[in-house]
Amino acid sequence: MIARMSFNLYSDLFLNVAAPGGAACLLEGKTSSTRQVKPSFMQADCFPLNLYFRTPGTLGSNSTAVELAALTIVLGAKALDDLDAATLLFSASGFVAIGEGDELHYQAVLDLNTAEIVAALGSAKSMTARVNVEVETAGNAQRLTYQFDVTIQAQAYGGEAAPTPGTPIYPHPSLLLTKVEAAASYIPIHADQARVRWNPTTKDLEFYCDELGKYAPLLLVVRDGVLVVTPGEPVDV
């Protein structure tokens, strides 16, 4: 029996608590290795974002979870080429602690369906955003900021109508006939169907007879008031 896993709509980021500031603050999952590829998000997506705060161990070992007791988490981002912008591209707050022990993380909903992202992307296929994750004390009297870049990909689908089928709809290859010039006839392109052909001269559908080594049409005729199928005159291949 094949085990089935539930699909969960969320995204995970793992932060090295000992590396506030630059991109080195991101870890490869629960490992102690620095993440080498920047995260990528899709414009207009909306999902729970899980932030794991971790302390790296020795090389090759996993990191350990860190609890942010009595601290507040705020996330905000701007376009990398417009850090002086008056408004954020996207933000998230209200992070709540979920899980225990090694599964402890902090979750909030990240909404990337903003007018600011649409304007910043313009006609571009993607853009780079700089993200700040601030861990603050009460009243924001003290804080540490973890900063990294993410790629925002432009949506290719925004609820547009389905494409219009071509006219005429192109037939399946198994329904196509290919012309045999030497015999001035047509046969299906599949070898296992080549025992049937269309004769454009007589306008008959012909079937190959092994014993005669010839093709013969099947004709509809009326006998004694009854419509019957009868073989026609065999023709050379």
The count of domains in the chain is: 2
Q: What is the mean pLDDT of residues 166-187?
A: 61
* Residue 182, in any domain of the structure: yes
pLDDT of residue 16: 96
Contact 55, 25 (CB under 8 A): no
Contact 129, 149 (CB under 8 A): yes
pLDDT of residue 105: 97
Answer yes or no: do 138 and 195 share one domain: no
Range of the domain at 36: 11-153
pLDDT tops 80 at residue 94:
yes
Answer yes or no: do 90 and 128 share one domain: yes
Average pLDDT, the chain: 86
Answer yes or no: do 105 and 19 share one domain: yes
The model carries a pTM of 0.68
Pairing of strands 40-42, 143-153: parallel
Q: pLDDT (tens digit, 9 = 90+) per residue, 218-231? A: 888 888 888 888 88
Contact 86, 98 (CB under 8 A): no
Answer yes or no: do 87 and 124 share one domain: yes
Answer yes or no: do 29 and 138 share one domain: yes
Contact 114, 143 (CB under 8 A): no
Could you tell me which of 76, 59, 52, 39 has the C-alpha nearest to residue 152? 39
Q: What is the mean pLDDT of residues 128-141?
A: 95
Q: pLDDT (tens digit, 9 = 90+) per residue, 183-208? A: 555 555 454 545 777 777 888 888 87
Answer yes or no: do 42 and 108 share one domain: yes
* Residue 210, phi then psi, degrees to nearest 5: -60, -45
pLDDT tops 80 at residue 152:
yes
- Assign 124 a pLDDT band (cuts: 50, 70, 90): very high
**Residue 51's beta-bridge partner residues?**
13, 106
Answer yes or no: do 121 and 216 share one domain: no
Answer yes or no: do 103 and 201 share one domain: no
Question: Which conformational region is residue 162 in: left (phi greater than 0), alpha (psi within -120 to 50 degrees), or beta?
Answer: beta
Answer yes or no: do 139 and 223 share one domain: no
- DSSP for 74-128 reads EEEEEETT-TT-SS-SEEE---EEE--GGG-EEEEEEE---HHHHHHHTT-SEEE
Q: What is the mean pLDDT of residues 114-137?
A: 96
Give the DSSP letter of residue 26.
B
Answer yes or no: do 52 and 145 share one domain: yes
Cα gap 195→90, rounded to integer Å: 66
